Structure 1
């Protein structure tokens, strides 16, 4: 893996209730394809991007955004970088090493119920399309 040219800060969106010092690790089911166990943990340098991920995450909890620090090497997320968008405008990354939670972030933009439903419909269409495969 080559180190991307982004120094953060970095964020992770989830419905899990975490504490400072907790480690987020790969090995959990994908939020978008539950039959896939992920080999990486994903994060972004965009606070609201992590918020979107939190709102779309599987589970019943409240969407949450956490500030995180990578504990090892990371790379641009190949699921969006150059595959769907030229370069990495979403500033999305992944790592096979854990992310350390450094605190919860509360000043992220929540989606309206209508916008959230539109995102869910887009994701359902991608999942239904065989080309929406996850690069794991």
Structure 2
């Protein structure tokens, strides 16, 4: 792990029902561009950011935020760092190595239905914008 990036704790938001000790891995479809199979697994050091990702994830299951540990090296998420925001204010990262689930939290900030709709509309508009590619 690159100590220059972040010490954590780290979180991953999803609608999957997982258990402590299980691993999250790359190789699944993007929640934001389902035609893309992701080469990385994404995570953040901000619980509320993981919560937002969980609420926006595909599917009807309840959103969940897991506490995770990277099992290998990770890097700043280029989809939100420097490309869109200077530095890494969202404390977002990605790895090709699995993330180990070490816990689950429930005290993250839930979005209002109006805020979720705004986020969904932003994502939908980016899906039709050639400049909004996912760096995979």
TM range (shorter): over 0.9
Task: Please state how far the C-alpha of 1:2 moved relative to its aligned partner.
Answer: 5.8
Aligned to 2:135: 135
Task: Please state how far the C-alpha of 1:77 moved relative to its aligned partner.
Answer: 0.1
The answer to whether the 8 A contact 1:3-1:74 is kept is no
Q: Give TM-score, length-normalised by structure 2.
A: 0.97
Unaligned runs of 5+ in 2: none
User: Which ranges of 4 or more aligned residues in structure 1 deviate by more than 2 Å?
Assistant: 1-5
Cα 1:4–1:26 change in 2 (3 A) is farther
Q: Give TM-score, length-normalised by structure 1.
A: 0.97
Cα separation, 1, equivalents of 2:27 and 2:51: 21
Unaligned runs of 5+ in 1: none
The answer to whether the 8 A contact 1:77-1:92 is kept is yes
Aligned to 1:123: 123
Aligned to 1:76: 76
Counterpart check, 1:89 vs 2:102 = no
How large is the RMSD of aligned CA atoms in angstroms?
Answer: 1.2
Q: Report how many residues are paired.
A: 136
